[in-house]
Structure 1
Amino acid sequence: MQRILTIIGARPQFIKASVVSRAIQATEGIEEILLHTGQHFDANMSEVFFDQLGIPRPDVQLDIHGGSHGAMTGRMLSEIEQIILREKPDRVMVYGDTNSTLAGALAAAKLHVRVAHVEAGLRSFNMAMPEELNRILTDQISDLLFCPTDTALRNLEAEGFDNKPVQVLQVGDVMQDAALFFARHAVAPEGLPAEIFATDGHGQSRKNGAGGAGFILATLHRAENTDDPLRLAGIVEALNQIHREIAPVILPLHPRTRAAIDREGLTLEPHVIDPVGYFEMLWLLDHCGLVLTDSGGVQKEAFFFGKACVTMRDQTEWVELVEAGANELVGADAERILSAGRRHLGRTIEDRHELYGGGKAAERIVGKILEEGRA
């Protein structure tokens, strides 16, 4: 029996782990121990995902959140090390690019426990992003790297991973597995304003005749935007103007972003709602006419639901979406955001080439882990 210690701590990781955990539960020969670092501690950003996604309650809850990147990562590293020593897993599995990811991988590597990295090989090539540092370092100390795309595979090849004693596999993206599986459970968030349903009877916004359900979905949380007063002001200005002139904007607002906006004395005109659960987010993605975001995961989720995406960043890890014309990078410039919003609202995006594996990534990941255990 293989013992796998899965380490999660942030919203996207809950979703990714849910589909892999389900595949593990359906497979004989693997036992999973689930560790939640507590990196996301707001009930709407963590607890609700266990309730909605059917993930088993964590076997270990560390409740580590807040503080600087170094302080948070250091506390996680120390406590995860103790859990590894106690549980003696055969492998540690980490997801994505958060502080929880790096701390889990580093603790395991220092104790000579093998590390599997789900979503390996992603690169924004922006070393100012904490996430970029986390993903690069995690890849370097993992021995089993599960890439979600061909681009991620090529990134690792370019970094010399072909010459390292590791296994690199393109398995597809577990986020597509989750979106396809859970779409039937999507529900509208409570308290949405009636304005977002104001259409002309043909699913088109009355404001400009563009397709969609009459509203734009926006998310805003990246430190590169929220911690830079000029970038944050440009994005807020654009969201306000789009909300006034193009279509209603629904903005589930991250607590840290809310604090940054208050700190800078900015005013948001869009319909601001609290962070939503995954099923509510799927409903918003399915019913909106456009997505404006600085999130990595939401860029892909927009694509899964056939919606165009305008990304308020200077780089993206998901370059294949830009190459396919499904996503446009606009940075934090208000005019560029506004122009892209006008051009892309209501566009339908088709996935002709199964860019993200067609919903079988979790099956491939668990199959590989089981194969290794039998070797």
Structure 2
Amino acid sequence: MLDQVLKFFEIVPDYDLDLMRADQSLNTLSGKILISIDNVLSKVKPDLLIVHGDTTTSVMAAWAAFHRKIKVAHVEAGLRTFNSLSPFPEEINRQITARLTDYHFAPTIKARDNLLLENIPKNDIYMTGNTIVDAVSLGILKLQNIDESEIISETGILPKRFILVTGHRRESFGKGFELICEALIQITKTEKIDIIYPVHLNPYVKNHVYKKLENIENIHLINPVSYPTMLYLLKNCEFIISDSGGIQEEAPAFGKKVLVTRDFSERMEGVEAGLSILVGTSKEKIIKEVSLLLKASKSKASFNNPYGDGKAAKRIVKIIIENLGVKE
């Protein structure tokens, strides 16, 4: 799934740790990351390690750098739900990363304030916006060169009017995904709308979703799509149902709202602005909010993105150069 993103942005990694395996535990993955990234740090001896977000890779890489007394910069620092199990394991990953970080690049005021509450020194926190908004801005420019036929060849279908659905959170495995699927089935019975659902490859997600939804009319289950195709779907859908944190930040760029299938969000800026709506995995809430949004979606909206202005990367680079004394 990562390779196509690297290709889209023309990024060629110097090292590929090749860590992902089916059905491996978080502890197995964590140990492999720590050992593999330590081998790279030992060879490269960097002055700074930049980690992004709240993945297991981010926290274990930061830990490896700390052990070698290498400074750490954290992009997307300060996001919090203050609920250790939601999202799991990301909430604890990012809290631990904060303790290992020297330069905290906070995307929003709320993220900065979260770090201050945790006694992170004010001078170590920098308000930058989030680089995901930069990526979307660049992606939108590249999207102009993509023909609709390319999208159809990848998805197999492109209805005129559709809801985009994604889901992958561990806390929704089992009953949560079952309720979401039941809501989607009911929506197709009561609303004149198609649903496009790029299904995550995790077998705990894929097996359950296909079992419930594979033969339901107007629900189109497809493989995970490339980054440009996802941007196209975001641009052309009515709105999104998703548990993705990234989509909550991408959707405002297209004037689209998100029904967030989580009980807690570390991105409350969007919730408070009315761009995201927390529905959890409640079948009733999902159906109700879908009905309301479909009635309202005839008038397209445009939003100011609360997560950045597309210039976060430039700010981060400038801060790193100034602090490390690097010559441009």
TM-score after normalising by structure 2? 0.89
Distance 2:84 2:158 in 1: 41
Identity %: 36
Secondary structure in structure 2 of the residue aligned to 1:172: coil
Structure 1 residue 243: Cα displacement: 3.0
- For structure 2, the 5+ residue unaligned runs are none
Within the alignment, does 1:239 sit opposite 2:179 as a pair? no
Structure 1 residue 244: Cα displacement: 3.4
Within the alignment, does 1:196 sit opposite 2:196 as a pair? no
Amino acid at match of 2:109: D
Amino acid at match of 1:331: G
Is the 8 Å Cα contact of residues 199 and 209 (structure 2) preserved in structure 1? no
Q: Residues 123 and 348 from structure 1, CA distance in 2 versus in 1: closer, same or farther, beyond 3 angstroms?
A: farther
Deviation string, structure 1 residues 170-203 (Cα, Å, up to 9, x no partner): 1001111111111132244234465612xxxxxx
Q: Residues 139 and 348 from structure 1, CA distance in 2 versus in 1: closer, same or farther, beyond 3 angstroms?
A: farther
Residue from 153, 162, 171 that aligns with 1:224:
171
Structure 1 residue 300: Cα displacement: 1.3
Secondary structure in structure 2 of the residue aligned to 1:94: strand
Deviation string, structure 1 residues 49-95 (Cα, Å, up to 9, x no partner): 1211111x211111111310011011110111111011000000011
Residue from 188, 207, 222 that aligns with 1:259:
207
Q: Residues 261 and 293 from structure 1, CA distance in 2 versus in 1: closer, same or farther, beyond 3 angstroms?
A: same
Q: Residues 194 and 102 from structure 1, CA distance in 2 versus in 1: closer, same or farther, beyond 3 angstroms?
A: closer
Distance 1:293 1:162 in 2: 34
Is the 8 Å Cα contact of residues 48 and 277 (structure 1) preserved in structure 2? yes
* Structure 2 residue aligned with 1:40: none
* Structure 2 residue aligned with 1:139: 98
* Structure 2 residue aligned with 1:53: 9
Is the 8 Å Cα contact of residues 326 and 349 (structure 1) preserved in structure 2? no
Residue from 313, 323, 328 that aligns with 2:277:
328
Is the 8 Å Cα contact of residues 253 and 274 (structure 1) preserved in structure 2? yes
* Structure 1 residue aligned with 2:302: 350
Is the 8 Å Cα contact of residues 124 and 132 (structure 1) preserved in structure 2? yes
Within the alignment, does 1:168 sit opposite 2:125 as a pair? yes
Distance 2:41 2:100 in 1: 16
- For structure 1, the 5+ residue unaligned runs are 1-44, 198-213
Distance 1:249 1:260 in 2: 17
Is the 8 Å Cα contact of residues 242 and 249 (structure 1) preserved in structure 2? no
Structure 1 residue 349: Cα displacement: 4.0
Distance 1:195 1:92 in 2: 42
**Number of matched residues?**
307
Amino acid at match of 1:157: L
**After the TM superposition, which segments of 4 or more aligned residues of structure 1 sit over 6 Å from their partners?**
none
How large is the Cα RMSD of the aligned pairs?
1.7
Amino acid at match of 1:315: F
Within the alignment, does 1:90 sit opposite 2:47 as a pair? yes
